Structure 1
Amino acid sequence: MPSRRTVIVLAALGVVSLATALFLRYGIIQNTPIGLACEAGEESLTCKVRLAVILMFIQDCFGWTALIAAGVQLWRPNSVALGVGLVFALLGLVLYNTRASALAVTLLVLSFARPAAVRA
């Protein structure tokens, strides 16, 4: 089980990644005026970010990264794998990579179902 400090950091990372994913989806990707401007050939940073995120979810990058990190967390539990899996699973759930991200969330939850270590 993660320590109290680790839980606080993971919760903060989860909230930030969820807020970022919601902003990317509803503020940039599904925003009609931004979409029309980018399709018309505008060369702004917003259009480049929009294109990069679209290409990443077409390739299932969020879901596969979350799935790999969740597998590492299941195999050798550590805070970094849990954090990476959590962040990318939340990004994937909001940004259209739901299948692999949902499986990653399941593996992350299963990683807590271990017998307690015997302390002598």
Structure 2
Amino acid sequence: MANSTFTPGPRAMNWLIFTTMAATGWAFYVRYLVIEPSIVGLACDAGLKSAQCQMRSVVIALFGWSVFGAIALAAAAFQFLKPSRAGLLIGFAFAGIALVLYNNIAGAIAAMLLILSLARPGHATK
């Protein structure tokens, strides 16, 4: 078993799928229902104080600094060097967010590294 690859177990895969889909779904919501509609942008720029407008300004600032892509790349690099369930979970979640929220290159590289990390030697998890 010394040459076995890192393989998440069924329970870990269920959490991985759920978390990645939830994070990517949140990113789709934010992009297509909060950031891109001009009516929301005009209302927020006019001074509307709502949680949606605060989230909009925070997310715009974060993807302006490529924070989502940087977190995805850092988690993917950590996962590639030392495979773990947490690294895979965080990496795929932020790679999905980065791909949807305008950090395409960093998100794509992170997703590629995460997929490659599944072929690296590591302990099997349950």
| Larger CA deviation: 32-41 vs 57-66 | 32-41
- Does residue 3 of structure 1 match 2:9? yes
CA distances 1:17-69 after superposition (whole Å, capped 9, x unpaired): 11101000001001221110011121211111000000000000000000000
Which residue identity lines up with residue 21 of structure 1 in the other structure? A
Q: Which sections of structure 2, spanning at least 5 residues, go unmatched?
A: 1-6
What is the distance in 1 between the residues matched to 2:26 and 2:51? Answer: 16
Across the aligned residues of Structure 1 and Structure 2, the Cα RMSD in angstroms comes to 1.2
Q: Greater relative contact order (Cα 8 A, min sep 6): structure 1 or 2? A: 2
One of 43, 50, 65 as aligned partner of 2:49? 43
- Does residue 68 of structure 1 match 2:82? no
TM-score normalised over the length of structure 2: 0.89
Q: How many residues are aligned here?
A: 117
Q: Which sections of structure 1, spanning at least 5 residues, go unmatched?
A: none
Which residue is 2:22 aligned to? 16
CA distances 1:54-103 after superposition (whole Å, capped 9, x unpaired): 00000000000000000000011000010000010000000000011110
TM-score normalised over the length of structure 1: 0.93
Give every structure 1 segment of 4 or more consecutive aligned residues whose post-TM-superposition deviation is greater than 4 Å: none
